[in-house]
Amino acid sequence: MQRLYRYVTSLQVDPLPLNNHVIYCINPHCQQRQNPDELECCQTCGTPLLIHDRYWLIQPLRRLDSRKYTDIFEVDDQGTQKVMKVLKDNHAKLVELFEREALTLELLNHPGIPKVESDGYFTVSVNSTTELHCLVLERIEGQNLEAWAKQYGAISQSLALNWLRQLLEIIDYLHQNQFFHRDIKPSNIILKPDGRLVLIDFGSVREITGTYLAKLRGDVELTKIISEGYTAPEQRQGRCLPQSDFYALGRTLVHLLTNKPPSCLPINHNTGQLIWQDKAPQISKPLAEFIDDLMADAVVNRPQNVQAIAQGLTRVSLWLRGLGCWVRSPKGIATIITLGMMGFGVYHISQPWRFQYYFKPGREYLEQVREYYSQYYWKQGREALMEFRLEQARINLERAVKINPNSALARSDLGLICKYQEDLKCAEEQFNQALKLKPDAETAATIHYNLAILYEDRKNFEQALAEYKLAMQDNGYVGIDATNNFARLQIWQLFNYDLAINLLVKALQRTETLDLDETEKNSLQSVLYKNLGWAFRQKADYQEAENYLQIAITLDKTQAAPHCLLAQVQQKQGDEKNALISWKNCLEFESRGLPEVQTWQGEAQEYLNAQ
């Protein structure tokens, strides 16, 4: 459960902060696209801000980038929030794909596919020279599975089967309507807050820019969607079949089960198969082999339709696999033997002279049953928590705690749920009860970390610092993250800049000892460098501050804080031109729930309004 509390709220927030006082200009060539919401035309280029007589561009859902073929905005449609994709390049192939996506989504009607109304596709002329193709889609709340996997790690077998069945239902609907997706991968699947999946980007230009356009030799040019690690061999050759979607589905499952993109996994050069099963020990052998069948290089070796996949899944269903694994396990064998002993004991228990021989085994059996059901409800609760199904998670974890009040893990997880539900008294009580049970060092550090965040949210900084200090004793990720937050509070609340710098430098050295993938390591180091830059900025050492903040931005461009701080430093140095860019970036990215960053973003808005 490390870091779950800190990041789980991203399931319900937008990639960029919503500012209700700004309307964006649709013109991609406009030099300043943000406008006060009371204007009807862009104050910079004069383009009408009301699009197609009904849509206001509220905020970009990803960074505006001239190198991408599309912009993506959240829009207001007469009080309803939707998503608008704007194609900026009129290349014939790109327009063809864009129109195909619009037509496909207009024709389809399934809860796992974004809806497009019949008038959702239109064009807009800008300055009488540029024609923009626009597509308005249903807004899907949630998080794509690539981002989800980065936060929460490899999924369980039961969750894999849940998601697999949902995706098969969507794919079956597509295939029955004579469509196939061609670009199934984790980033094209959205997990909604209710646990349902939605498949997105049907012929999406955005995903073409994220992959590449491949050209065939000769006079004929063919646009092919290629996503490294997910695209089937025949699709690379320009021949896409329904079974190509199955291949991509299998590769997607591998990514989610191992938390590693398929392109980063080795290949058996003798068989051509991906070597991945050793990195997903949580799933059964039959399911792993079934996923290998989905990813077979030869089309004839893959299941030929969704029905064939469904029939295969019945052989590896969750219940049978779980039962089989449990029966074969030492615990399962011991429980079966004990059940037999109990049956024999209960039969004779009416005879008093035999009671002394069977009472003790019976009591031990009851303890085994108690432990079994406590573990069962804890696992069910944790899985629901990972899927952010809070009510169900709380029910299961309360059952686990009731059956076994001495389960530190169950109490810790229950504390998290209470915090999410803003039941702060319950959260504090469960965290403290868990600590009294003397859990292992890593669990204890995580509990102290979550308590620290709880106290920080209450602005009880003294207790927050005390809890962070206890969490800092952990030798892993939690300890480094706690050190970072401890140093952050030293800068923000206590002005102990030198102490913060000393702690942050040591924490950066410790990151080299952790077994992290590149993305996770970059993210962790970025926040450490950001806080180093902040400390030097407070000491008025602006050159050092700028150096560290630039490193933080290079490692992770998606957090607002280093941009906000860099803007402050550049202003102090008289570099107003670059400060303006940094203030814009400060507003464009997430505050990640940090109150000091929200304050800086308010300063950014004031600065930009003054400009």
Where do we find the tokens 């303006």?
Answer: 580
Strand 50-51 versus strand 197-199 pairing type: unpaired
Question: Would you state the structure tokens that stand for residue 404, as one six-digit string?
Answer: 């076994």
> Residues, the chain, total?
611
Structure tokens at 35: 């406008």
Tell me which DSSP letter residue 278 carries: G
b/e map 85-119, b = 16+ CB within 10 Å: bbbbbeeeebbebbeebbebbbebeeebbbbbeee
| Count of other CB atoms within 10 angstroms of residue 497 | 18
Tokens at 529, concatenated: 């460098």
Q: 3-class SS at 124? A: strand
C-alpha triplet 370, 338, 349: angle, nearest 5° = 95
Please tell me whether residue 41 adopts helix, strand or coil conformation.
strand
Is the CB of residue 224 less than 8 Å from the CB of residue 292?
A: no
What's the distance, CA 395 to chain centroid?
24
Positions annotated as catalytic residues are 183
> Which residues neighbour 560 within 8 Å (Cβ) at sequence distance 6 or greater?
17, 585, 586, 587, 588, 589, 590, 591, 592, 597, 600, 601
Q: Say if residues 446 and 480 touch (Cβ distance below 8 Å).
A: no
- Residues 587 and 600: their CA atoms lie apart, in Å, by 9
Distance CA 255, CA 29 (A): 38
Q: Is residue 397 within 8 Å of residue 381, measured between CB atoms?
A: yes
The crossing angle, in degrees rounded to 10, of helices 542-555 and 518-538 is 160
What's the alpha-carbon Rg for the chain, to the nearest Å? 28
β-partners of residue 70 are 87
Which two three-digit tokens encode residue 217? 């030799």
Distances (CA, A) of 296 to 67, 175, 311: 36, 20, 18
Element (H, E) at 159: helix 157-176
H or E, element range at 134 = strand 130-138
**d(C-alpha 282, C-alpha 297), whole Å:** 25
Using DSSP, state whether 199 is helix, strand or coil.
strand
Q: How many other β-carbons are positioned within 10 Å of the β-carbon of residue 528?
A: 27
CA separation, residue 46 to residues 148, 356, 471 (Å): 40, 93, 55
In three-state form (DSSP H/G/I as H, E/B as E, the rest C), the secondary structure along 462-514 is HHHHHHHHHHCCCCCHHHHHHHHHHHHHHHHHHCCHHHHHHHHHHHHHHHCCC
Q: Percentages helix, strand, coil for the chain, rounded to the nearest 5?
A: 60, 10, 30
Helix count and strand count (H, E) for the chain: 24, 11
